[in-house]
Structure 1
Amino acid sequence: MSRGDIGVYGLGVMGSALALNLAEQGFDVAVSNREVGWIADFVAEAGPLAARLHPHSEMSDFVAGLKTPRVILFMIPSGVPMDDMIRAVTPLLEAGDTIIDGGNANFHDTRRRAAALATQGLHFVGMGVSGGETGARHGPSMMVGGTAQSWTQLEPMLRAIAARYEGDPCVAHLGPDGAGHFVKTVHNGIEYADMQMIAEAYGLMRFGMGMSASDIGAQFEAWNKGPLRSYLVEITGALLKYEAAGAPFVDHIRDAAGQKGTGRWTVIEALHMGQSASLIEAAIGARSWSSEKALRERLAAQYGGARGAVAVGLAQIEQALMAGRILAYAQGFRILRQAAQDYDWPLDFARIAQIWRAGCIIRSALLDDIAEAFEASGRGGQLLEAEVIADRLQGALPGLRAVAAAALGAGHPAPALNNAVSFFDSLRIASGTANIIQAQRDFFGRHGFERLDQGGQHHGPWWD
């Protein structure tokens, strides 16, 4: 009986795509699924690749059908289902075997599972996979956390199936336990912010400048040939060209955005670490507010829902998107920097930027500059201090300010772009207003404060 180089359990959209990708790259893949009826259909539809797929309906046969030390990739829902699966499969495994969680798991769960399984001699890998179904099938970006030993075993397979940017596989071992899943969480947070800013730009052009959906689509297509080139700009240009029943297809879509939770995790963890994720939080807030469609309709009737014309040019909107994107990445990497310190992870920020350049949802031309910036400054550097980034940001800031101000004045919601301005202005001011807050805290709670002209802790004269 042929034995699989790797097992893939969970033949949903992502699991089936990854299994086919592995098979196409010459690996023998044992496959199984909770709904056993899916297994035969999946193999039957695999065409010539079916010869590399080895189906099993029973977990014991699935595990027995793997080469040792075994590697099993689980593509199942995160949370309780993954814990249940670990309890079911571990009695069948041996020391040295590796379990991979390829879902969008909370990194705290990944750390807990890695520590528990290590006591049994098992390796637990948390692997973030980005790129959707197409990426999984033809080359995703993968962010891997786990032991060095598990990476040695996985590296040849993962490099083979990964997306490539100028020949470089977009996969990396980022650190132990939850490092891979945490980086994927922040990736998704940046994705939320980028999507929201693109939507805000669309709204300004459509409702503030009177442009048609197809003309806006053409504008995004033009931007995708320049500095804003990215997957999200590309698909926005494409989707705005579709029509149905004589109207833009997007006009048939209910304006209530969904979310699965990873963006919220980014904000929650940022706050735990005392960091700002204001652009990402703005994007999450906007999605939450969008879901209150009935309330919005009532408030539009009560307060008036009209939006005025905006006196900005397309070049300024392009600048606003560039500045906003830079600042969203800056916030994301600040969160990663803090996590590296708090969890003692050897996160390589340049390498993270490099593996995001192909296969993943937030791939963009800007990531070349970000990788260059971190290669020059190392782990301790702040993205906004890098000359290559500062030059881009300085050129784009006038457009961001003009667009944010115009949106605010004309009643167009632009929470992410407005937060981008506030975030930048808060960081660029050498002398701010937090001294007032410190004085207030001392006045009502005797919390004390530091002085500029003396060391130690002090209290105000109101306590004399």
Structure 2
Amino acid sequence: MQQNTYEFGLIGLGVMGRNFILNVSDNGFKAIGYDLDIEKVNALIEEGGDVSKINATNKADKFVEAIARPRKIMLLVPAGKVVDTVIESLLPFLDKEDIIIDGGNSFFTDTDRRETYLKDKGIHFFGSGVSGGAKGARIGPSIMPGGDKEAYTQVQPIFEAVAAKFKGEPCVAYLGPKSAGNYVKMVHNGIEYGLMQLITEAYDLLKKGGNATNDDLQTVFSNWNNGRLQSFLIEITAGIFSVDDTLSEGKLVDKILDKAKQKGTGKWTSQNAMDLGIPVPTIDMAVSMRELSALKKDRIAADAIYAKPKSELRDKNDLEKKMEAALYFAFIITYAQGLHQLADASEEYKYNLELATIAKIWRAGCIIRAGLLEDISEAFEVNQDLPNLILSPNFKEKISSTLPAVREIVAFAAKQGIPMPGLFSALSYFDAFSSARLPLNLLQAQRDHFGSHTYERIDREGIFHTEWE
């Protein structure tokens, strides 16, 4: 293995890492992978076919020596302590000005800490979100880099080559300093949680309220994907309904246990939004529903105790039409919540994020890619300081036209006892956000009554307190 031969190094040859480095090689960059698992090393060498273009090793010193200076090394390993362990294992072999890129779902404050730590050692470091799953990593993901801009310019030609393309534009852009890249990816995943929850609710309503079969649902979601709901998640959902179970009769989707798992990025989005004071209730509810789904034993017990409302089937075609409008509305609201959080975080953490650019690099490659993002990017190009998507003139008619259907679906679901917490929260968020006056004046009175917390008035300046008794 010759020294200084390869232009790019990647650590972590699991499915994502292997596919990403093969993508790098396919685009003309010589690359070398590193993993402690010799089977993963050999698998990459075999699949790559030509070690002069793509190679792999399980020896850290040989890996580093084989990369041209300044070395460009990307980590695709699990977030947390593993990232720190890998960085420490590399340091004895690195030179000043070498570059380490964390491509995993690291928590943004960890990225800030690592950047400061490595800067003191003369090593460039930045975090970069990568979305698109295993397939996206292989044929073109959406990439969200942030941090050391000088370091990013060194890697930019590689990232632009391997990223997904939308109308010829690479779905990658430098987003901002410090942990901007990892933060944007975190919120991306929060939005992803929200959209997935909303889709499951649409599925449940059509099945229970319209007696839709899997074949019906496959057709419905395929039709939706050909319209304004066009998106990766709607597309794959349509496909799921057509897959037969290989272990028994029927469709596979009906045999899957209804307990959802999570890796934490959605929860981080929700927690950080609370820290910032930004409401993201649809994302919050999506996280909560994954947690509630895990209570399978308790849910079965409660189901046996409480009677359900008398079932009332709706006309299938009408229900599908109304549900499509409701889902479109809720998609808009979910993106609006996530982008509102990004806007506030940009000010709080001095990221200088451009929301139009973020929407653009989400148009292809990533899990939340959707036709709607073209409209979203245009809205923020027209007004870079738009505080919330709901306030965009471009979205006024899109939202207003769906509201009657949303309210009808919500009322029907509540009457039928069909849980739709994502859609309910999206509508409540919209109704509250578009209300000039909320009943929180009473809440402030309560706080002042029991805790002397004071209040403000609508008719004069100042801070007031009342002895209520």
Give TM-score, length-normalised by structure 2: 0.96
Letter in 1 for 2:298: L
Tell me if structure 2 keeps the 8 A contact 1:197–1:324. yes
> Distance in 1 between the 2:328 and 2:52 partners?
47
Residue 21 of structure 2 is aligned to residue 19 of structure 1: yes
Q: Deviations over 1:131-185 (max 9, x none)?
A: 0000000000000011110111011000000000000000011111211011001
> Distance in 2 between the 1:77 and 1:429 partners?
43
Give TM-score, length-normalised by structure 1: 0.97
Residue 286 of structure 2 is aligned to residue 283 of structure 1: yes
Aligned match of 2:364: 358
- How far apart are residue 288 of structure 1 and its match? 1.1
Residue 277 of structure 2 is aligned to residue 302 of structure 1: no
Deviates more, 1:352-361 or 1:94-103: 94-103
Residue 145 of structure 2 is aligned to residue 176 of structure 1: no
Aligned match of 2:409: 403
> Distance in 2 between the 1:190 and 1:352 partners?
13
> Distance in 1 between the 2:312 and 2:126 partners?
52
- How far apart are residue 310 of structure 1 and its match? 5.2
- How far apart are residue 122 of structure 1 and its match? 1.3
Aligned match of 1:326: 332
- How far apart are residue 304 of structure 1 and its match? 3.1
Give identity over the alignment, percent: 40
Say if 1:308 and 1:123 are closer, same or farther in 2 by CA, change over 3 A.
Answer: farther
- How far apart are residue 303 of structure 1 and its match? 1.1
> Distance in 2 between the 1:304 and 1:258 partners?
28
- How far apart are residue 306 of structure 1 and its match? 6.4
Say if 1:447 and 1:238 are closer, same or farther in 2 by CA, change over 3 A.
Answer: same
The number of equivalent residue pairs is 462
Letter in 2 for 1:256: K
> Distance in 2 between the 1:282 and 1:307 partners?
26
Letter in 2 for 1:126: G
Tell me if structure 1 keeps the 8 A contact 2:210–2:319. no
Aligned match of 2:116: 115
- How far apart are residue 39 of structure 1 and its match? 0.6
Q: Deviations over 1:37-92 (max 9, x none)?
A: 32122211223x55411222211111111111111011111101111111111222
Aligned match of 1:367: 373
Of 240, 251, 256 in structure 2, the residue corresponding to residue 253 of structure 1 is 256
In angstroms, what is the RMSD of aligned CA positions? 1.4
Aligned to 2:402, the other structure's residue is in SS state helix
Deviates more, 1:376-385 or 1:194-203: 376-385
Aligned match of 2:206: 205
Tell me if structure 1 keeps the 8 A contact 2:206–2:319. no
Residue 266 of structure 2 is aligned to residue 263 of structure 1: yes
> Distance in 2 between the 1:305 and 1:71 partners?
59
Aligned to 2:257, the other structure's residue is in SS state coil
Aligned to 2:97, the other structure's residue is in SS state coil
> Distance in 2 between the 1:443 and 1:398 partners?
40
> Distance in 2 between the 1:418 and 1:308 partners?
20
Q: Deviations over 1:65-123 (max 9, x none)?
A: 11111110111111011111111112221221111111111111011111111111211
Aligned match of 1:29: 31
Letter in 1 for 2:287: I
- How far apart are residue 309 of structure 1 and its match? 2.7
> Distance in 2 between the 1:389 and 1:320 partners?
15
Residue 299 of structure 2 is aligned to residue 293 of structure 1: no
Residue 12 of structure 2 is aligned to residue 10 of structure 1: yes
Letter in 2 for 1:185: M
Tell me if structure 1 keeps the 8 A contact 2:24–2:31. yes
> Distance in 1 between the 2:255 and 2:249 partners?
11
> Distance in 1 between the 2:338 and 2:313 partners?
30
